[in-house]
Amino acid sequence: MDSAVAPPAVAAFRDVYRAELDAIRAAGLCKDERFIHDPQGAEIEVEFPAGAAPKKVLNLCANNYLGLSSHPRVVAAAHAGLEKRGYGMSSVRFICGTQDIHRQLERRLSEFLGTEETILFSSCLDANAGVFEALFGEKDVLIADRLVHASIVDGMRLCKAMTDTYKHSDMGHLEEKLLEHADKRFRVVITDGVFSMDGDLAKLDEIVTLAQKHGALTFVDDSHATGFIGKTGRGTPEHFGVHGRIDLVTTTFGKALGGASGGCVSGRKELVDMCRQRARPYLFSNTLASVIVSGTLEVLDLVSETTERRDHLEENTLFWRKGLTEAGFDIKAGASPIVPVMLYDARLAQDVARDLFAEGVYVVGFFFPVVAKGQARIRTQLSAAHTREHLERALAAFVEVGKKHDILGKTKAEMLARCGL
């Protein structure tokens, strides 16, 4: 399109957005995409910057926790699903978009998660965006942990219920809020199972106890846990001994469960049935593609047959956390395979990530506004696809880059001082 002949209104909006994009880039906040030339895995070929020759690097930033994104059985099941059920359904579920395998997957998920009923969505973001508005209204209150996922914040905004928050994992503050809103019809306690920023786990046992004491409902987004947290990978409810006692669970198939896309709401039958009638992303958006349904069914078979992958992931997590700590890195304590390496300064986080890429390790620096101010870090994520050799190599690269930036064994204050802050 020739911008020279564009009408004035077009020129005006181009100016506005070009200026905004320039400001984002100038602030160092531009999210540049890196092109991967092969299937998702522990080692991938990455073209970065655009136009550069693809480089083989160790991948420590995917949500491929169980290493199933390119597993031969999952790929084969997806192929078979494609052959048997076709590519698309060209419909929403309630018109002509429900195949037998959609219902089969919903039943399998209910069994796996220990719930009464499940409904599929195109993504967990859609599930979170639709569930609150479908179930709760002006007589109710949604009380969320302050670090819940952005999609929950969006879902709460779309709902007419009153919204409130409690300080991150602060059970005393949560109880205050439950008491403060005692006059509401329903009080809903909302949390992530594993928080994606710090990798810490919600105190689900205490949350369930408090919710029962005050007659409140519980909601858990277990996207960073389903498939590998808990002895058999049933997620944070299993880890805390409250499996089957959460009223509403949302989760994704886009992380450990094959990593393609799709998500669900699972929980009390009446709540899920109501979502089927009223959740707008479900009613007005296409059905989950059959090829993904087929792949996810195979993933559930794989994770139900053996805990080998989740056990290996746990071993990798322990090895990685121990290795980084002994090397002198400042990491967030915890047990999840999300291991944030704290650098506190945005520029330092970007420089360390760039140097690690040069050393053959693919990680991404996170800084404000994605994380809180002064909390810049590199988020490393372990996978069952990582071998011990992969992690030893990654650790050696981290130590090399850590020495270069003189951050090993340094406190937050010392690191910030090195950055002139």
The span of 149-157, 212-220, 263-271, 300-308 binding other proteins (CB under 8 A) equals 149-157
Residues 128-147 contacting other proteins, CB under 8 A = 144, 146-147
Task: Quote the least distance from Cβ 146 to other proteins, whole Å.
Answer: 5
Indicate the residue among 157 and 269 with the shorter CB distance to other proteins. 157
239, 255, 332, 390: the catalytic one is 255
Residue 255 annotated to the active site: yes
Q: Which is nearer to other proteins, 164 or 351 (CB)?
A: 164
**Pick 192 or 330: Cβ nearer other proteins:** 192
Angle, helices 308-327/388-404, rounded to nearest 10 degrees: 20
- The distance of closest approach from Cβ of residue 342 to other proteins in the complex, given in angstroms and rounded to an integer, is 13
CB of residue 225 vs other proteins: minimum separation in angstroms? 15
Q: Tell me which residue of 211, 238, 410 sits closest to 328, measured CA to CA.
A: 410
Query: Is position 123 annotated as part of the catalytic site?
Result: no
- d(CA 249, CA 213) in angstroms, rounded, equals 20
Quote the least distance from Cβ 371 to other proteins, whole Å. Answer: 4
Out of 60, 109, 131, 156, the only residue in the binding site for other proteins (CB under 8 A) is 156
164 interacts with other proteins by CB under 8 A: yes
* Least distance CB 160 / other proteins (angstroms): 12
Question: Is 196 a residue of the active site?
Answer: yes
Instruction: Please identify, using beta-carbon distances, which residue of 94 and 368 lies nearer to other proteins.
Output: 368
Which residue's CB is nearer to other proteins, number 320 or number 367? 367
Stretch that binds other proteins, among 39-47, 158-166, 301-309, 385-393 (CB under 8 A): 158-166
Site for other proteins in 364-383 (CB under 8 A): 366, 368-372, 375, 379
Q: Which is nearer to other proteins, 197 or 415 (CB)?
A: 197
Given the rule CB under 8 A, which residues bind other proteins?
A: 20, 144, 146-150, 153, 156-157, 162-165, 168, 196-197, 366, 368-372, 375, 379
Active site residues: 196, 224, 255
